[in-house]
Structure 1
Amino acid sequence: MKQRVLFTSLSLVLAGSMAACSNGPAASGTGSKPAGGEKTKISYWTGDRHDSEYIKEIVDKFNATNQDNIQVELVIKGDDFDQALDLSFQTNEPPDVIRVKENTIQTFYKKGFLAPIDEFLNDDMKKKFPEMANLNTFEGKRYSLPNYGTTMRLIYNKELFAKAGIQSPPTTLAELVEDAKKLTQAGKATGAYGFAQNFKNPGSAFGRSSRVIAEVSGFGGFGYDFKTAKYDFTGMKPIIEAFKQIKDDGSMLPGVESLDIDPLRAQFAEGKIGMYLSFSAEAGVYQSQFPAKIDWAAAPVPSIDGKFNGASGFLGGQWLALSAKTAKKDAAWKFMQYMYGDTILQQYQEKGFGISMVPSVSAAAKKPEVKGIDGFLPNKYDGVWPVTPSVAVQGMKSDDAFFKYMLSGGDLDAVIKDLNTRYNAALEAAVAKGDVKAAPMPDFNPANLAGKYAK
């Protein structure tokens, strides 16, 4: 018997019955229906949990109404999504449809996990859904279509801020450190702390926090300098130092080393965390997944020194992708075309799960009636950054190295020098192999990226 992929306790498997709906765009390729009412079973894997109830609802509807006897198994995973996907391809049991993100699609493409979808796209679809190089299109072929984008903000407990006597959210790193201290002092009686991030997965934690602080300050959020086409993590130094200071001050929630994002959200909803940084998905989270028992809001992230020399990453450009190993491509596409229907995409924004990156959908969708969503709507500081080259660095990754410094201290300058050396060596090797392209952009000005999505 073929060995099954083992799912972690964070995985949630949801199944039903399904079929193509009239509100989706027309497909150019179809397969014959199974004989005798037999179901064509496909699986869809996603790492998103903020929209899980809505996705379950629309998958169930597809399963119950489609005319092609297609049945989708919905698998919702946690921060182990990437590792589980790798394992599924190794054991030849991958999903048929894969949720891809701006920080994973390039990697999945290079690993050969994704199939191009050009054969299914008619002219109307090509016009409707923006083509974004290195975000959903590689070497002239499309691998996904956009749904929504996510803005990045500081999420804060208004009640604890008022109790601490803080009039407004921090706009500098110095204020972030000082406010975390004040919030912790004010929350001592109830066991609340000033700051937290989900450091069980340092990549996820820094991707929600140090990344965007660097970006609004004018530095590449992944340590890559687009002007020189080299890695330079120097811009991260004051940010990591500030996070370490918050930890050393006792202003960070104890146990962040093992804190995943959902437990963090649960703690925030209970009033145990003063502030943290994350995506616009949090608005939907505190309405349905973890109903907030506190008054909260979202604010622009602080920059290093209060000056905004860049843009806060507006992330998106992709959503669903076909598995390169699916044996049921036509059925999988019918599910995808259903998911990309106008009604579903409009409801996705209206329910507050994300901000549409499809112009026709954004124009038709109503403003989300979701608590806190106003703070996440695109502003003059939001913008889409170019994609950082994906390299296979030898040794400890930058996120792990920075978190190790936060916990244990040491020489941060030496850490940064080592990262620069190893990441640039990996970049040079990847360029030499032809795996990535990296050319200097001498006229690149990150401040010019901002404001293009503000209404």
Structure 2
Amino acid sequence: MKDSVTDAFLHRFEQDFAKTHKDIDLDIQIQEWDGIGEKVTAALASKDAPDVMEVGNTQVAQYAASGGVEDLTDRTEDLSGADWLPGLAGPGKIDGKQYGIPWYAANRVVVYNKDLFAQAGITAPPTTHAAWLADTAKLNKGATQGIYLPGQNWYTLAGFIWDEGGDLATRTGGSWKGTLDTPQALAGMDFYRRLQALGKGPKDSDEAKPPQAEVFAKGDVAQIISVPGGAKLIEETNPALKGKIGFFPIPGKEAGTPGSVFTGGSDLVVPEASAHHDAAYQVVKALTGDKWQTDMARTMSYVPNRTSLAKAVQGDPGTAAMAAGAARGRATPNSPQWAAVEATNPIKQYMTAVLTGSDPAEAAKTASTSITKTLGS
């Protein structure tokens, strides 16, 4: 997919693969994310499908449900599947069968202003929810926002809900049900509300409106929750902050355990209509093996697909913080209809309702009913 890796990485991989697999010719075609769902579904139904495709990790269920994706369960041991990041491996596994092979991951961390932390007397990043609230309150003085957290940052909310033992939706038998109205999910939303109140983030928009990197770049925001790559945008906007930005994993409920995070990223799938299944597997095995996982992690600042490879990114503070959190990574409910939930996203509406004073239980019940209806459609 476009921008997943650099041209230089692709060139290195092609050159190396050609040397080690002289009987296989690669034809790599780059695709745009916009409209890719329909394109992949059509390819899977064709008789002349690509041999290997990169797909978003949360899209695997949708494609597997449409049919035409090869079951690679018998390959997991050969690919060190026991060591895969759960947030990548889980979405690729549907009804006990592994269709998607984890390729790379990214997740949110806390990006913070080192100068503002020092001025508040905070010498080390917090490691628990309680300490995070206390430190953010210290930072929230005068013109400084302790944290800029928009009201509809629902991926972050999902992590807080998972920390409490809840979920966005669960499956019982063959039916999915929205579960934002459970006590655990409500506790996650309450923590989000308390944290969000320690800043001036809008209650009715997400991190893109306005772009939170631009807000942080003004220099009076102590923390945002973002992928580490957001720091580059901040420094481009305000070069004076170069070298003054730090990172730490989103804190969990207890010290020593990072908070749960949504794991974004990509899996590799092999269409059943591929004419070269053995060659396709060799490409998957190479891209997900130690050599190219390490190269890609260092080139792209991604989290490798296996926990044992986290050491490959320890030299990069932002990616190291991301890798620490990735061990507690999860994904959205593994339903082929989840994309339809995100299209209207009642979770965002629910969050705004709670943050603007509506009864949390009633708002959660309304959102859960909407999710249940969409997942059952």
TM-score (norm 2): 0.67
Picking from 192, 196, 202, the partner of 2:149 is 196
Match of 1:129 among 67, 70, 80: 80
In the alignment, residue 157 of structure 2 is paired with which amino acid? S
Letter in 1 for 2:129: T
The C-alpha deviation readout for 1:287-336, integer Å capped at 9, x for no partner, is 799677242333343457x7999962584896222356767767765644
- What secondary structure is seen at the aligned counterpart in 2 of 1:126? coil
The CA deviation at 1:159 is: 1.9
Check if 1:72 corresponds to 2:72: no
- Measured in 1, the distance between the counterparts of 2:130 and 2:171 equals 22
Paired AA for residue 244 in structure 2: D
CA distance in structure 1 between the partners assigned to 2:116 and 2:202 by the alignment: 14
Give the match for residue 6 of structure 1.
Answer: none
Q: Distance in 2 between matches of 1:258 and 1:385?
A: 20
Residue 346 in structure 1 maps to residue 299 in structure 2: no
Instruction: Give the equivalent residue in structure 2 for 1:107.
Output: 62
- Percent sequence identity is 17
Secondary structure at 2:67's aligned position in 1?
coil
Q: Which residue of 1 aligns with 2:99?
A: 143
Q: Which amino acid aligns with 1:276?
A: I
Give the unaligned 5+ runs of structure 1: 1-44, 431-455
Q: 1:57 — aligned with what?
A: 8
- What is the aligned counterpart of 1:297 among 224, 232, 246? 246
The structure with the greater share of residues assigned to helix is 2
Letter of the structure 2 residue corresponding to residue 417 of structure 1? K
Change in Cα spacing, 1:387 to 1:339, as seen in structure 2 (3 Å) is same
The 1:340/1:376 distance shift into structure 2, 3 A limit, reads closer
Distance 2:369 2:12 in 1: 52
- Report the CA distance shift for 1:243/1:328 in structure 2 as closer, same or farther (over 3 A): same
Aligned partner of residue 276 in structure 1, secondary structure: strand
* 1:87 equivalent among 24, 35, 38: 38
Gaps of 5+ in 2: none
Shift of 1:370: 1.1
| Superposition deviation, residue 252 in structure 1 | 1.5
Kept after mapping to 1: 8 A contact 2:149/2:199: no
- Asked if the contact 2:79–2:288 (Cα under 8 Å) also holds between the matched residues in 1, the reply is no
Larger RCO (CA under 8 A, 6+ residues apart): 2
CA distance in 2, matches of 1:410, 1:260: 23
Structure of greater Rg: 1
d(CA) in 1 for partners of 2:171, 2:129: 22
> Where does residue 172 of structure 1 map in the other structure?
129
Counterpart of 2:349 in structure 1 is 401
CA distance in 1, matches of 2:270, 2:209: 28
| Matched position secondary structure for 1:212 | helix
Give TM-score scaled by structure 1 length.
Answer: 0.57
The amino acid that maps onto 2:61 is Q
The answer on whether the counterparts of 2:249 and 2:259 sit within 8 Å (CA) in structure 1 is no
Which one of 203, 206, 218 corresponds to residue 154 of structure 2? 206
Q: Output the CA distance in 1 between the equivalents of 2:202 and 2:141.
A: 9
> What is the letter of the counterpart of residue 54 of structure 2?
R
Contact 1:147 1:356 in 2 (8 A): yes
d(CA) in 1 for partners of 2:353, 2:269: 37
- 1:232 and 2:189 aligned: no
Which whole-Å deviations, capped at 9, do the CAs of 1:417-443 have from their partners, x for residues lacking one?
22334445666x58xxxxxxxxxxxxx
Residue 259 of structure 1: how far off its partner (Å): 0.9
CA, structure 1 residues 162+239, in 2 after alignment: closer, same or farther (shift >3 Å)?
Answer: farther
Tell whether the 8 Å contact from 1:102 to 1:135 is kept in structure 2 after alignment. Answer: yes
Q: How far apart, CA to CA, are the structure 1 residues paired with 2:37 and 2:245?
A: 38
**For residues 107 and 177 of structure 1, do their structure 2 counterparts lie closer, same or farther at Cα, with a shift above 3 Å needed?**
farther
* Counterpart amino acid of residue 196 in structure 1: L
Distance change (3 Å), C-alpha of 1:219 and 1:303 = farther
1:252-401 map, 5 Å: 252=201, 256-257=205-206, 259=208, 263-265=211-213, 268=216, 271=219, 273-279=221-227, 282=228, 286=231, 293-302=242-251, 312-313=260-261, 315=263, 319-323=267-271, 335-350=283-298, 353-358=301-306, 362=309, 366=312, 368-378=314-324, 382-383=327-328, 388-390=333-335, 392=337, 397-401=345-349
